[in-house]
Amino acid sequence: MMRLYLVRHAIAEELPEQFRFGDDLRALTAKGRNRFRRTAKRFARLGEPVRLICTSPLLRAVQTAELLAAAVGHDDVKVLDELRPDAAVDPLLARLAELGAPSAALVGHKRLMRELAAALAHVEAERIRFRRGAIARIDVRHLDDVASGKPLWWMAPSDDEVTPGLPLDEALPA
Amino acid sequence: MIELYVVRHGQAQDEAVGGDAMRALTAKARKRLHKTARNLADRSGGIDLILTSPLVRAVQTAEILAGSCKPDAVEVLPELAPPHAPEAALAAVSKRAKGAGAIALVGHEPLLSRLIAALAEGVSPGKLEIRAGSVVRVDVDRLPKPRKAIARWWLKSGRHKGLPLKEEPKEAAPKKARAARPAAPAVAKKRPPRKRPAPRPKPLEASEPKPPEASEPEPVAPAAEPPGLTPS
């Protein structure tokens, strides 16, 4: 069994100051940092055993991962190419199986986090509202079997409590 | 005076799938940096702003420092990345400084050595040796082109006065202020007496052996005597 904590990076600058650097180098805003620091602190208080923090190599994700590492006091941070915005779910799961940690936080981007949550929770990706700086816990019995996934709870940047299940769009029928 | 803390990123992996910019810090480097960060938080009177190169290893270093130093802001400054010239980096730092009194700059070699050399005329960048994960404090009266710059100390498992210089066999012994050498503090104490008061018997914070506090910082760049540039 593996506990996964899916984390979407916190709020980043809309546009980089220098266009030449592009999307990879958008940094977190002060608001994004402050909010996520609070989220990470609340997460740390839950006492969840995070053994590994994996992050997309993009700047905003690396910063988010470091804020999380500081809050939970765990220092094993790995930068994974498999968490890039354009990556696919399967290679990511394969890489996680290879790393073999009993629990891991994955800091990434909207599309991949949604698709991963959708695959593990057997819902349509479009129904998942993964806000920036949100954290969702999903347990997986076998990483090579997405059907063994079970979403437990999620926390939004503004909430004090965790909410059971997944952040689903309520406008759509269940 | 503005306190500048020039920080070279910690040791990174040799390679990464995404290329040089994606290289992450090693586990060992992270551990050391946490120590350095606490050390820096103790020794600086607080850091207002951390500016970092956008490369992963620098961003990670900056965030680890931020964890202990609790700056008001951590900002990414593309001009601190390798291809830039020190003048461009300093101009960008100056623009972002907005009245901050203590600024940490996290970047790469050889840009950092060149940047320090640009601050303090007479210091040759080739003589500096800023090792991974170390911090060099230089106080300047203004940015981007200071009239006055003072090399205060540098940190790398312990604090050392002045600037981190490469060892030069022909030079006098006190120049050998290399961190890893256990002899360094002793050498510093044995230094020939100078006009300044005798070293205090004990360092202020006694967590590890280090040379005593300087009673007055030495100017990095006194106009007349270039050898005086090199820190005592």
DSSP B231: -
User: Tell me: the pLDDT tens digits for B40-84?
Assistant: 999 988 999 999 999 999 999 999 999 999 898 899 999 999 889
* B31, B60, B78: residue with CB nearest A21: B78
pLDDT class for B178, splitting at 50, 70, 90?
very low
pLDDT class for B170, splitting at 50, 70, 90?
low
Residues from chain A contacting residue B31 (CB–CB below 8 Å)? 75
Whether B158 shows a pLDDT value over 80: the answer reads: no
Q: What's residue B191's pLDDT?
A: 45
In this structure, the strands spanning A103-108 and A52-55 are: parallel
Task: Say whether A63 and B16 touch across the interface (CB within 8 A).
Answer: no
Which long-range CB contacts under 8 A does A168-172 form with residues at least 24 apart? Answer: A168/A123, A168/A127, A168/A128, A168/A129, A169/A126, A169/A127, A169/A128, A169/A129, A172/A126, A172/A127
* B17, B60, B73: residue with CB nearest A62: B60
Q: What's residue B231's pLDDT?
A: 43
Class of domain A2-164: alpha beta
Would you call B78 an interface residue with chain A, using a CB distance cutoff of 8 Å?
yes
pTM, whole model, 2 decimals? 0.80
In angstroms, rounded to a whole number, what is the distance separating the alpha carbons of residues B25 and B11?
Answer: 6
In angstroms, rounded to a whole number, what is the distance separating the alpha carbons of residues A108 and A86?
Answer: 10
Residue extents of the structural domains in chain A = 2-164
Nearest-Cα distance to chain B for A97, in Å, is 18
Would you call B34 an interface residue with chain A, using a CB distance cutoff of 8 Å?
yes
Reduce the DSSP state of residue A14 to 3 states and report it.
coil
Of A30, A32, A38, A27, which Cα lies nearest the Cα of A71? A38
Least confident of A54-58, A107-111, B112-116, B119-123: B119-123
Would you call B126 an interface residue with chain A, using a CB distance cutoff of 8 Å?
no
Nearest-Cα distance to chain B for A122, in Å, is 31
Q: What's residue B131's pLDDT?
A: 93
Residues from chain A contacting residue B63 (CB–CB below 8 Å)? 62-63, 66-67, 70
Q: What's residue B34's pLDDT?
A: 94
Would you call B214 an interface residue with chain A, using a CB distance cutoff of 8 Å?
no
In angstroms, rounded to a whole number, what is the distance separating the alpha carbons of residues A58 and B49?
Answer: 22
Test mutation, B31, B32, B63, chain A, max A CBs within 10 A: B63
**174 residues of chain A, pLDDT tens digit each:** 899 999 999 999 886 555 555 778 888 999 999 999 999 999 999 999 898 999 999 999 999 999 999 999 988 999 999 999 999 999 999 999 999 899 999 999 999 999 999 999 889 999 999 999 999 999 999 888 888 899 999 998 877 788 988 888 765 454
Scanning the structure block, which residue is given the tokens 């006091």?
Answer: A73
Q: What's residue B188's pLDDT?
A: 40
* A17, A75, A78: residue with CB nearest B31: A75
Nearest-Cα distance to chain A for B68, in Å, is 9
Task: Say whether A30 and B22 touch across the interface (CB within 8 A).
Answer: no
Q: What's residue B164's pLDDT?
A: 86
